[in-house]
Structure 1
Amino acid sequence: MDETEELIALCARALVAQMGDVPGVEMALTRNGVLGLTGAPSPDFNRLTLGAGPQAEDFLISSVGRARARGLPLVVVMSPQAQAALAPVAAGLGLTVAGTSPLMVLRPETPVTPSRPVKITRALGVELVAIAGDLEAAAFDEPRDAIARYFDVCLTETAGVEAWIAWDGDLPISAVTVTPTGDTAGISLMATPPEHQRKGWGRALLTQVMADYRSRGVARFHLGSTEAGLRLYESVGFVTVANLSAWLLPAEGALPGRDRGGPS
């Protein structure tokens, strides 16, 4: 398995950890992908991550069918190999290209140096989890109840997902989520509300958290970047290994007369 397909598989495992405790979630797994439908009306909370493999086409078709039957929007992220094989199938299913997402990795030989000291706290317990969720909702402009169903419920001692908060004195400033798998960890949901951006808080949190994981045996980190985050990640040592294609199935693609979402 090449590095891109390996990282896609790790992203799929991370999605399982992040969505597994969502009330009413519907999940399906194959060797090369994972589907998670939370029932929320935003496509960000209904996702298919798909790598290349002999089951990929059937899994894509069945996943789109599940989302469409429930009237849910769906984001499909494919590896380049999967995209090359399945683009005509995706288009025939009513998916449209929504852009690309750089798949980035910080390899073991790349040093991690905290940019400046910052107080960080792991989000565990009702109060700290709520604070991390507030930061996520503010940073991504998502309804707080949707964040609560998707994000807050996964932050337990044993869930496999860890969130960290940076503080300016008593004021929470930024949050980031880490999903470790062996000696590799996925970085996601890097969240700094607009009023605190461009002040170095995200960099300080990210570099300190990664340095801490390095001290505990995590050698490599991966993430899917947005255009806005690309410069930050490149500046701390991440490199792009592939541009993943993102496809969108809008809720309007649902079959008429069906329930449009379930609990949210």
Structure 2
Amino acid sequence: MSTRSLMLRPGDARNVAVVDALMAAAFDARYGEAWTRSQCLGVLAMPGVQLLLAYDADDPAGFALTRTIMDEAELLLLAVAPEHRRRGVGGALLRSVIADCRDVGAAKLHLEVRGGNPAAQLYEGAGFEKVGERRGYYRGRDGKQYDAHTYSRAL
């Protein structure tokens, strides 16, 4: 896949099955990071929430879910299917999210990532700085707890 074949499209609650499938593939269940279908549907119904889907031809490659409230935005979820990783999908989604949040008047974009998640490199490379940590925030299926690192960047 080249970034030329990557298509980014806005989504909504009608795309929740695609989001579910991408989360199941992208998020390792042992860390407890994936959301349930009802959590996704609930947040998609809220004002200021945007879903962005990435496709390689007709193949769902990833998604980003954001929420903007006044001049603050939060990247709630970003997932890339394993077979599409290291091909620019995450970067394309993140660049689009940053631009979209800026376009709607957000001055800052926040996110949270599990400590040790390699996605932190993507965020740091895009100008995010670690601003905090939540000890034991994620609970894996085996009961083990994992820290969450919070990041922020000015838009």
Asked if Structure 1 and Structure 2 have the same fold, meaning a TM-score greater than 0.5 normalized by the shorter chain, the answer is yes
Q: Distance in 2 between matches of 1:220 and 1:234?
A: 15
**1:79-125 deviation per Cα after TM superposition (whole angstroms, max 9, x unaligned):** xxxxxxxxxxxxxxxxxxxxxxxxxxxxxxxxxxxxx6752222214
AA paired with 2:50? E
Alignment match, 1:63: none
| 1:123–1:132 Cα contact (<8 Å) kept | no
Does residue 1:151 correspond to 2:75, yes or no? no
Alignment match, 2:51: 163
Which portions of structure 1, spanning 4 or more consecutive aligned residues, are displaced by more than 6 angstroms?
248-251
Does residue 1:188 correspond to 2:76, yes or no? yes
Alignment match, 2:121: 231
**1:215-234 deviation per Cα after TM superposition (whole angstroms, max 9, x unaligned):** 22112101112322111100
| 1:166–1:172 Cα contact (<8 Å) kept | yes
Structure 2 counterpart SS, 1:225: strand
| 2:73–2:108 Cα contact (<8 Å) kept | yes
- Which residues of 2 match residues 1-264 of structure 1 at below 5 A? 118-126=6-14, 128-142=15-29, 147-156=36-45, 158-226=46-114, 227=116, 228-246=118-136
CA-based RMSD:
2.9
Q: TM-score normalized by structure 2? A: 0.72
Structure 2 counterpart SS, 1:151: helix
| 1:133–1:152 Cα contact (<8 Å) kept | no
| 1:192–1:202 Cα contact (<8 Å) kept | yes
Q: Distance in 2 between matches of 1:148 and 1:248?
A: 18
The offset of 1:249, in angstroms, is 7.7
Structure 1 counterpart SS, 2:105: coil
| 1:175–1:190 Cα contact (<8 Å) kept | yes
**1:145-196 deviation per Cα after TM superposition (whole angstroms, max 9, x unaligned):** x72122234323x444322111112221111110111111011221112111
| 1:132–1:163 Cα contact (<8 Å) kept | no
Q: Unpaired segments of 5 or more residues in structure 1?
A: 1-115, 254-264
Structure 1 counterpart SS, 2:21: helix
| Structure with more of its chain in strand, by fraction | 2
Q: Unpaired segments of 5 or more residues in structure 2?
A: 30-34, 144-155
Structure 2 counterpart SS, 1:202: helix
Alignment match, 2:32: none
Q: TM-score normalized by structure 1? A: 0.44
Structure 2 counterpart SS, 1:198: coil
AA paired with 1:150? Q
The offset of 1:200, in angstroms, is 1.3
Q: Distance in 1 between matches of 2:120 and 2:11?
A: 25
Structure 2 counterpart SS, 1:210: helix
Relative contact order (alpha carbons < 8 A, sep ≥ 6): 1 or 2 greater? 1
